[in-house]
């Protein structure tokens, strides 16, 4: 049963976890329902542990673009093209919050030129690594992040000053708007159980719990605490006593394609 019709207002892909992503016109899902080219690469620190933008906010200044034969990193007036295969086979460690321990993951080391760009941006000895499919699909990870444009606007309205680049701060894969051009009712995604596009269904897998990354200005890499403070307030009003939530996670029912402008039939849990 369809409870609401919406449209896709924006799509994003994040080829490197914790680097800036790229707005795209279409997003292709593989047979497992995960987006191709999304979070296939990671950043490791000197200890060989996967790190994140919360630890190194200036990773926001490095943009990643997934192309046909290369991964392109760009920032600080420099660009590095990285082959989509090759590199030394290495083992890295990724934190598993459910086990409260590290998982050992297969990866391939990226080139020194990419490491130099990351170090210049952050001042830390970081390296780019290509993650194995098993590392990309760990059970603690999620396929797609979805949010409504009404929620983004409610966030802006709760701030003393509007944010620049609000959507990139919450790193959505899919932003929905109302079928007539929006905006959607704020936080309608909290009620979404499924979003259907033809034969493809995006099924809810859980809420998206927010962290300090929402405070990072994508244009400067500087922390702006009021951004997370406002999200915390909005979440507490809707979900008192729960962790800070904004948006939901979904996974595709199989292979398919999402395109900006596509009509989406939403099923809601009232």
Domain with CATH 2.40.33.20 in the chain: 4-35+142-268
Architecture of the domain spanning 4-35+142-268: Beta Barrel (2.40)
Residues sharing a CB contact under 8 Å with residue 41, sequence separation 6 or more, in sequence order: 15, 16, 17, 64, 71, 110, 128, 129, 130, 131
Q: For the chain, which ranges sit under pLDDT 50?
A: none
Label residue 49 exposed, middle or buried (CB < 10 Å: 0-12, 13-18, 19+). Answer: middle
Label residue 265 exposed, middle or buried (CB < 10 Å: 0-12, 13-18, 19+). Answer: middle
What pLDDT does 2 receive? Answer: 62
What pLDDT does 207 receive? Answer: 96
What are the pLDDT digits (tens) for 7-34? 999 999 999 999 999 999 999 999 999 9
Q: What angle do CA 261, 64, 125 make, to 5 degrees?
A: 155
What are the pLDDT digits (tens) for 191-228? 999 999 999 999 999 999 999 999 999 999 999 999 99
What pLDDT does 1 receive? Answer: 55
Q: What is the DSSP string of 230-270?
A: HHHHHHHHHSTTSPPEEEEEEEESSSEEEETT-EEEEEE--
């Amino acid at each position: 049963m369809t409870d609401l019709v919406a449209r896709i207002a924006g799509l994003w892909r994040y080829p490197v976890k914790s680097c800036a992503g790229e707005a795209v016109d279409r997003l292709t899902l593989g047979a497992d329902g995960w987006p191709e080219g999304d979070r296939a690469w990671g950043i490791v620190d000197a200890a060989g542990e996967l790190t994140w933008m919360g630890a190194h906010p200036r990773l926001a200044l490095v943009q990643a673009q997934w192309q046909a034969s290369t991964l392109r990193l760009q920032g600080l007036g420099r660009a590095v093209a990285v082959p989509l295969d090759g590199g030394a086979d290495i083992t890295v460690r990724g934190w598993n919050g459910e086990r409260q321990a590290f998982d050992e993951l297969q990866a391939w080391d990226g080139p020194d030129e990419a490491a130099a760009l990351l170090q210049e941006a952050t001042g830390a000895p970081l390296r780019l690594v290509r993650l194995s499919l098993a590392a990309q699909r760990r059970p603690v990870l999620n396929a797609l992040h979805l949010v409504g444009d009404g929620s983004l606007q409610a966030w802006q309205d709760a701030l003393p000053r509007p944010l620049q680049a609000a959507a990139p701060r919450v790193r959505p894969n899919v932003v929905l708007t109302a079928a007539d051009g929006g905006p959607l009712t704020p936080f309608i995604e909290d009620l979404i159980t499924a979003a259907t596009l033809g034969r493809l269904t995006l099924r809810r897998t859980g809420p998206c719990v927010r962290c300090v990354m929402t405070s990072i200005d994508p244009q400067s890499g500087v922390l702006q605490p009021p951004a997370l403070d406002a999200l915390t307030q909005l979440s507490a009003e809707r979900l008192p006593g729960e962790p800070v939530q904004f948006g939901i996670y979904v996974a595709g029912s199989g292979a398919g394609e999402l395109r900006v402008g596509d009509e989406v039939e939403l099923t809601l849990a009232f």
